[in-house]
Amino acid sequence: MKKRTLGNSGLEVSALGLGCMGLSFGYGPATEKQDAIRLIRAAFERGVTFFDTAEAYGPYTNEEVVGEALKPFRNKVVIATKFGFRNGKPTEGVDSRPENIRAVAEASLKRLHVDTIDLFYQHRVDPNVPIEEVAGTVKELIQEGKVKHFGLSEAGAATIRRAHAVLPVTALQSEYSLWWREPEESILPTLEELGIGFVPFSPLGKGFLTGKINEDTSFDKSDFRNTVPRFSEENRKANQGLVDVITTIATEKQATPAQIALAWLLAQKPWIVPIPGTTKLHRLEENLGGAEINLSEADSTNIAQALAGIDVQGGRYPGEMQKHIDR
């Protein structure tokens, strides 16, 4: 697996990371603990050195699984986790008060079996706490040796600039994929200017870009995609054209749609590190194959042009979650 550096931070990670959320949270019943540990370790054996979790995934259980799985390889991996929800529950709203940031850091250190958190993201911007205060608190944690790098998630350009002025931001984690390209407008230019890495979550469109989901697909009752407007039966049908285009390109490249979607992201900037998630070994291997596909600038342009006329239908979050997105 090739390596990439997140911006100017010097933090080197595998070109593709592993988003671990789905093993415990969000996409139906949690994966049995030993199976989840096996999958995480299989990713490490295949060259993945960047693992993403959060206290909110569970809450808490995902950090515990990730911590146990990576304990034998601690000095060979980078583990990212997050703070910023009240009691670790997104449904209870945001909480980035300094005392909560500190409490989360202490708890995450224990659950992850680590002495230092490699990358500590604010999970969502808290409008009630100035971002300067958030950055200042993380700066203190870095000085205390409890955190190495600071990150933001779903933050707008102005917030990124304000935070970065207090403490260099190593990475921004936000959604970015062939079916959500809004970051290209102001986020990517800001990150490039400031020397900040970008970690796209949902790089496969929450599974839609794999080509394995269509209008007839049914999700487990605990799968949050049931509440996402973009995944309504009507919108899945309307958005199928996007997948059809990607599938055609994938066939020409002797690859899968998922691999093309990941290769396209990797081709955008050398400081972009997507974190696809999965619960299945064969999907893990398929995703990692995306890092082996080199798309030329012409390829990337052709893909973008082929998709330019397609208007993706449906919001990417239900209404109550949309309010946590910083602009």
H helix or E strand, kind and range, residue 4 = strand 3-5
Reply yes or no: is the peptide bond before residue 168 cis, omega within 30 of 0: no
Handedness of CA 95, 99, 101, 104 (dihedral sign): negative
Nearest alpha carbon to residue 64 among 95, 99, 34, 89? 34
Structure tokens, 153: 């998630």
DSSP state of 195: T
**3 state DSSP class of 153:** strand
Reply yes or no: is the peptide bond before residue 318 cis, omega within 30 of 0: no
- Residues 260, 268: Cα–Cα separation, whole Å: 12
Pairing between β-strand 169-175 and β-strand 117-122 as defined by DSSP bridges: unpaired
Structure tokens, 160: 């990124």
End-to-end CA distance of the chain: 34
Q: Angle, to 10 degrees, between the axis of helix 157-166 and the axis of helix 187-194?
A: 20
- Yes or no: say if 100 and 61 are a contact pair by the CB < 8 Å rule: no
57 has catalytic annotation: yes
Residue of 57, 60, 121, 176 with catalytic role: 57
Beta bridge partners of 3: 14
User: Any idea which residues carry the catalytic annotation?
Assistant: 57
